[in-house]
């Protein structure tokens, strides 16, 4: 336990405390105006004051959009990878399109989806799903194709079927790569939902930010940033826990970054 505290808990805790101390020092000495960087106490008071009336419902809506979008994106990615596993020609045909699609910022699609689908949850869910789909699908496809050919040949010599090779070898081998893409995706998924809310919404954290920024309510904006940070951390921790449950064989080595 002491090793875990020294190596895993203490460094980030010290970093957070140093950042908080610098934040307090900057605001206490008046080095920057309050409307640029508010004091931590003001941010905390804004968070507590607005949570029951406005921020709680907005957070729940943005969190719901994020979770549904992540689940949808992962589900579509897994289906595409399974189809590609049984029909490799489809995977070969889709890979260039998946790579080329990364040149199109997903956030730019938000206004078009809002025009087509309205101001409800649907456009935000689709934006988050698109953000999660590409990293997960690309990583899974790469993992399936990178299985050692000698292992495949050995199993085929033992009369392994194509079905068995895919479900017992290729997909388990690719799963850690898929989770690596998912870890990156869920970190940015709440931000994608907020940007999608910018394009048209009646509630959510993005909607509250659009109201707060012109009014110079910087403390309220910082409070919402803190909520988004916690949301991303919760999603990331959930994915890491799920990865350890689904892929117990994928043990990180000493010194490996496990974000």
* 181-234: pLDDT as tens digits: 999 999 999 999 998 998 888 889 999 999 998 888 899 999 999 999 999 999
Q: Is the pLDDT of residue 82 over 60?
A: yes
DSSP annotation string for 164-215 = HHIIIIIHHHHHHHHHHHHHHHHHHHHHHHHHHHHTS-SSSHHHHHHHHTTT
| Separation of alpha carbons 33 and 156, rounded Å | 69
Mean pLDDT on 37-46 = 90
Query: What is this structure's pTM?
Result: 0.85
CATH class, 41-246 region: mainly alpha
- Of the candidates 203, 222, 226, the one whose C-alpha atom is nearest the C-alpha of residue 213 is 222
Dihedral angle of Cα 73, 79, 81, 84, to the nearest 10 degrees: -140
The CA-based angle 29-33-34, given to 5 degrees, is: 95
Q: Which residues of 77-112 are buried (b: 16+ CB within 10 A; e: fewer)?
A: bbebbeebbeeeeebeebbeebeeeeeeebbebbee
R_g (Cα) of the chain, nearest Å: 22
Q: What is the pLDDT of residue 110?
A: 80
* 103-155: pLDDT as tens digits: 777 667 888 888 888 888 899 999 999 888 888 988 888 888 887 777 777 77
CA distances 114 to 124, 125, 175, 190, 208, Å, are 8, 11, 34, 18, 18
| Separation of alpha carbons 129 and 72, rounded Å | 6
Residue 223, token pair as written in the block: 């409070």
Q: Is the pLDDT of residue 97 over 60?
A: yes
**Per-residue confidence band for 7, with pLDDT thresholds at 50, 70 and 90:** low
Q: Where are the domains of the chain?
A: 41-246
CA distances 171 to 161, 166, 178, Å, are 14, 6, 10
């Amino acid at each position: 336990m002491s090793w875990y505290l020294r190596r895993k808990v203490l460094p980030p805790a010290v970093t957070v405390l140093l950042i908080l101390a610098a934040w307090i020092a900057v605001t206490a000495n008046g080095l920057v105006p309050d409307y640029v960087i508010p004091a931590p106490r003001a941010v905390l008071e804004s968070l507590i004051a607005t949570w029951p009336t406005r921020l709680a419902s907005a957070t729940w809506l943005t969190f719901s959009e994020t979770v549904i979008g992540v689940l949808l994106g992962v589900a579509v990615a897994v289906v595409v990878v399974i189809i590609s596993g049984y029909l490799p020609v489809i995977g070969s045909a889709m890979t260039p399109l998946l790579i080329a699609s990364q040149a199109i910022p997903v956030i730019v699609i938000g206004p078009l989806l809002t025009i087509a689908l309205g101001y409800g949850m649907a456009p935000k869910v689709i934006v988050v799903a698109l953000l999660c789909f590409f990293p997960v699908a690309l990583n899974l496809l790469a993992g399936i194709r990178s299985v050692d050919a000698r292992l495949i040949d050995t199993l085929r010599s033992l009369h392994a079927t194509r079905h068995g090779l895919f479900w017992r070898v290729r997909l388990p081998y690719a799963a850690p790569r898929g989770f690596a893409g998912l870890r990156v995706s869920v970190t940015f998924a709440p931000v994608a939902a907020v940007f999608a809310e910018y394009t048209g919404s009646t509630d959510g954290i993005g909607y509250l930010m659009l109201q707060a920024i012109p009014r110079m309510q910087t403390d309220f904006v910082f409070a919402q940033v803190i909520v988004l940070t916690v949301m991303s951390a919760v999603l990331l921790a959930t994915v890491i826990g799920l990865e350890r449950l689904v892929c117990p064989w994928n043990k990180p080595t000493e010194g490996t970054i496990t974000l």
